[in-house]
Structures are given as C-alpha cells and as structure tokens.
Amino acid sequence: MAETLTSRYGPWGIVAGGSDGVGAAFAHGMASRGMNVVLVARRPPVLEASAEDIRARHGVEVRTVALDLSAPAALAELTWATADLEVGLFVYNAGGDDRSTAFLDKDLDTHLELVRRNCVGPLEAAYRFGAPMVARGRGAVVLVTSGAAWAGGATLAAYGATKAFDLILAESLWAEWRAGGVDVLGLVLGRTDTPSLRRAFVAEGGPHGDLADPGDLADPGEVAEEALDHLGDGPTWIHGSDTPTGGSPFGALPRRDAVLAMSRGASAHSRRTVN
C-alpha cells in the first residue's frame, strides 16, 4: 500500500496564512489527502468560510485559530490552541508584501511588523512545532519564501531580507533534521495569482487583467499540489523552474550584477505577493 500523507507525517496539519490564496490551496490539498487541518489567519469571517468549504468538500476535521502572526504571543497562543493534536505538517505561508516601495517610504513600524511575521514567526513555529516532530521521528515543515530571496534589490529591502531569512532557515533545518525523519522544504515562489495580489493591484487603480498575462502568474492550486508531492525533496523547491531543486537563477553572476538585475525586475513588476 502506498504511503499516505497522514501515515508518513501524522493526522493533523497547520497552515499559517490559510484563509485564501496559496494557504487555502495547501489546506485543500492536505485535506484531499486525508489530513485534518488547522487554519490560522487574521480575518475570522474569511477563515470560517474557508473551513466550511474544506469540511464540505473533503470530510475532514478543521479547526480555525484567528491570530495576527506578527503579534508577540501569536505562536504561543497557537501552540496552546493545538496542544491536544499531533501536528505532522506545518506550512508557514504568511508573510506577503502588498507592494514594493522604497525603504524610507514605509514607516518603521510596518518594517518591524514584516520582520516579526516573516522571520520571528517561522523561526518560533519551527521551534515550537518542529521539536515534537523530531522527538517522534516524523513530520514536515514548509516555509514559503520568494524569488526576492535570491539577491537584494531596490524597493525590496525588508521584504527580500525576510524571505532570504526564511530560505536559509529552511535549508539549515533540513540539514539538521533530515536524518531524523523530519522533512523541511523551503518553497520559493514567484508572482502568484492570489486574492492579495488582485487586491493590491486594484487598490492602485488598475484592473487585475492589466497586471500580467495570466500565464505569467503561478496558480495557487498547482503550487500547493507540487509542494505536497515533493515534501521529501528539500531543502529547496523552486516552483515554475526547469530545475526546481537547483540554485539561484542568477547563477555565477557577481553580486553587484545580481542586485542590479533584481532591481530592474522589481521596477518592472512593482507589486509582489506570495500568498
């Protein structure tokens, strides 16, 4: 009999940032494979609607935990709320940025909130939920990161830095935990067709259709299914790449040239999101 998601990792999964977009796609993918899910996000109405949809379509148990993952006590609260569950898969998908902006054009509190959500959050989640996985000898952690992690770039200072943190954290944990039965995957995404991307574009005065050719945007369902199929193929999976387990697309470029190339890309595509 083929190994299932639950037999390999455990009966429950958590999706941080699970109300819509890539996070919701992960939750549906996990549920379709028989895993019960905990959805974590800030907006209770959207969270509950997503949970009801998953229950109706897949017949699994679903819990919701309404949290702002940038709040200092968020991961402690999530740990308490799920203390009775054996969590075998944790997907940290929160942490998109609604638009690329010059560093000094965002206030300091906005930058610090991003760092708490994108760096402190995944580190604490990995520590709190990874420890029981390591003790049991099975489990998986997915940290969703971005192509902005490959190099610095104008208008991407804080966002790119936090996503580089996530990428290195995932790769390092993979190296530490791989021999003990715990898979870790740093999932690198480009621009993805999500509600947050659409909202960001409309807020700046343009219809979604003008954003890009639909073929330029990744489909959240395909992103999630591909990642779930390759949880054991870490440390890094680059969605949409011809060599998804390969290295930076900048290859052997000098760092200065990579930064200039990233800056040109940020200027051409000024609105970015990963979830």
By annotation, the residues acting in catalysis are 159
HEC string of the chain equals: CCCCHHHHHCCEEEEECCCCHHHHHHHHHHHHCCCEEEEEECCHHHHHHHHHHHHHHHCCCEEEEECCCCCCCHHHHHHHHCCCCCEEEEEECCCCCCCCCCHHHCCHHHHHHHHHHHHHHHHHHHHHHHHHHHHHCCEEEEEEEEHHHCCCCCCCHHHHHHHHHHHHHHHHHHHHHHHHCEEEEEEEECCECCHHHHHHHHHCCCCHHHCCCHHHCECHHHHHHHHHHCCCCCCEEECCCCCCCCCCCCCCCCHHHHHHHHHHHHHHCCCCCCC
Amino acid identity for residue 134 in this structure: V
Angle in degrees, 0-180, between the axes of helices 157-177 and 121-136, rounded to the nearest 10: 10
Backbone φ and ψ of 198, nearest 5°: -65, -45
Q: Count Cβ atoms below 10 Å from residue 101 Cβ, excluding itself.
A: 16
- CB of 85 within 8 A of CB of 62? no
Distance CA 275, CA 41 (A): 12
